[in-house]
């Protein structure tokens, strides 16, 4: 498993309360498992036990099981009583449904923002877009997943609807991995930068075309 996954599972510093400690470890293990799923370190179709993963991360089985239960709620794994957890494979139909949900949530909002938000606000998002490019060029799949979601949260945040941003972010998380081919990530990241260029230049028609292309399914 990559260093990112191992580092995310390190225990917090001493001195924290038991409740905070448990929550922190569970959150770190959850982050590590998500990174491992995206990077392919946890293989679709394989079964993993809580104790074995706990040993792998250097923690007890309890935070691993709690994290896996969260992933089961997100549709990433299946709980198998007395056996562990099986990593699920999303079917083409499920991936298409997730893509449709994301498009329904994000495209209308982004089209509205493209027509109403001043160019200066878009300029402030350039570092977030460039972070996706850097992760894509490095072939860092977990890093790209984080940067990609951060960029989309920043864009949707301009609408001022926190509930929308949270719901869209959860749909985005569930869909991640579908665009896992590195060439596709580079295209995806390039669209972020091109979109900002168009918005900063007030080229609304170009921006709208890029927004629709960004959410096209399947990705090219």
Q: What is the pLDDT of residue 180?
A: 53
Distance CA 95, CA 88 (A): 12
**Residue 84's beta-bridge partner residues?**
80
Banded pLDDT at 181 (limits 50, 70, 90): low
Closest alpha carbon to 176 in 48, 45, 40 = 40
- Give the rounded percent of residues in the chain with a pLDDT score beyond 70: 86
Say if residue 6's pLDDT is above 60.
Answer: no
In degrees, rounded to 5, the angle at the alpha carbon of residue 38 between the alpha carbons of residues 64 and 70 is: 35
Tens of pLDDT along 190-212?
999 999 999 999 999 999 999 99
């Amino acid at each position: 498993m990559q260093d990112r996954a191992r580092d995310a599972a390190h225990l917090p510093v001493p001195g924290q309360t038991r409740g905070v400690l448990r929550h922190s470890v569970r959150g770190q293990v959850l982050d590590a498992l998500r990174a491992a799923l995206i990077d392919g370190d946890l293989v679709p179709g394989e079964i993993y036990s809580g104790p074995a993963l706990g040993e792998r991360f250097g923690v007890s089985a309890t935070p691993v099981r709690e994290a896996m239960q969260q992933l089961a709620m997100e549709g990433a794994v299946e709980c198998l009583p007395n056996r562990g957890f099986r990593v699920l494979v999303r079917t083409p139909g499920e991936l298409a449904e997730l893509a449709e949900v994301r498009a329904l949530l994000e495209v209308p909002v982004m089209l509205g923002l493209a027509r109403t938000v001043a160019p200066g606000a878009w300029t402030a998002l350039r570092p977030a877009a460039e972070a996706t490019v850097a992760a894509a060029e490095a072939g860092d799949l977990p890093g790209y997943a984080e940067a990609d979601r951060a960029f989309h949260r920043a864009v949707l945040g301009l609408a001022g609807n926190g509930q929308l941003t949270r719901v869209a972010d959860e749909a985005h998380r569930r869909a991640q991995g579908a665009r896992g081919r590195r060439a596709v990530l580079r295209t995806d990241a390039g669209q972020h930068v091109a979109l900002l260029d168009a918005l900063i230049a007030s080229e609304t028609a170009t921006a709208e075309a890029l927004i629709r292309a960004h959410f096209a399914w399947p990705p090219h």
